[in-house]
Amino acid sequence: IQENNSEFLIAARQLRSAAFSPDGNLLALGAEDGSVFVFSVEENGLMYRRYREGAVKGHSAPVLCLDWATDCAVLRTQSADLVTKLWSVSSLAQVSQEDASDIRFATETCYLSFNHVAAWQPYVGTDRGLVCAARSNTADKLCVGDDNGHLTLYRFPPHPELAQGISAPAHVRALHSVAFTFDDSAVISSGRGGPLIMQWSLIDSGFK
């Protein structure tokens, strides 16, 4: 990445996730070593500067998911060992989960949040589980992918006990990531074990 027209190494190991804040002024990067780096975005994205000390270290596994609060005051992170943490953006200090019950997030990629409880219900008592998630841009749909290659679509926010999702087999192996198109008319999914990306149109009965 460039800072003051010079290039520098962000992390000793590869980056695993990235997310811009809703206002576009900050960029968060999750690394393989469990670090989260925050940069301020300047000159329409041509210049990046370290924000405060520039990094937080609180995970012991790769950081796979990043969600910004709608007011850009809190950053939510999730690591590969299924640990979710909240960080105050102003201080880059960890925030208690109990103090953050009313926070609204601009995205829902961290699939261990309260809004994903319903999506986990089908996996209770099994060795399967979710591996990715995305909320629609209109905030009325939630799409999750599991480690068996299936996609499931819910209304958002799904009721923890009463929600009914529409599932479909999408990939032969586990999902890697999922995202809605800009107009929410389709879902883009990628699978693990190969460079496979698929697009699914959303219809009343689910995916097509």
Q: Domain range for residue 130? A: 108-208
Q: Is the pTM value of this prediction over 0.75?
A: yes
Helical spans, DSSP H, in the chain: 117-120
Q: What are phi and psi of 97, to 5 degrees?
A: -60, -35
Task: Please give the tally of structural domains in the chain.
Answer: 1
156 part of a folded domain = yes
Residue 60 lies in a domain: no
Q: Across residues 64-90, what is the average pLDDT?
A: 95
Helical ranges in 50-172 per DSSP H:
117-120
The structure tokens listed for 135 are: 């909320």
What pLDDT is recorded for position 102? 84
Give which of 38, 35, 33, 34 is closest to 48, Cα–Cα: 38
* Residue 8, in any domain of the structure: no
Q: What is the per-residue pLDDT for 7?
A: 53
Q: What is the mean pLDDT of residues 197-203?
A: 90
Residue 12: inside a domain, yes or no?
no
The rounded distance, in Å, linking the Cα atoms of 147 and 175 is 6
User: Is 153 within the bounds of a domain?
Assistant: yes
**How confident is the model at residue 161, as a pLDDT?**
77
Residue 66 lies in a domain: no
Q: Taking Cα atoms as reference points, which of 83, 17, 28 lies closest to residue 52? A: 28
For residue 157, pLDDT over 80 is answered with yes
Q: Could you tell me which residues come within 8 angstroms of residue 130 by beta carbon, excluding any fewer than 6 positions away?
A: 111, 116, 119, 120, 123, 144, 145, 146, 147
pLDDT at 2: 47
The mean pLDDT of the chain is 88
Question: What are 38's two structure tokens?
Answer: 């925050």
In three-state secondary structure terms, 6 is strand
Inside any domain, residue 30: no
Q: Is residue 116 part of a domain?
A: yes
Mean per-residue pLDDT for 164-183?
93
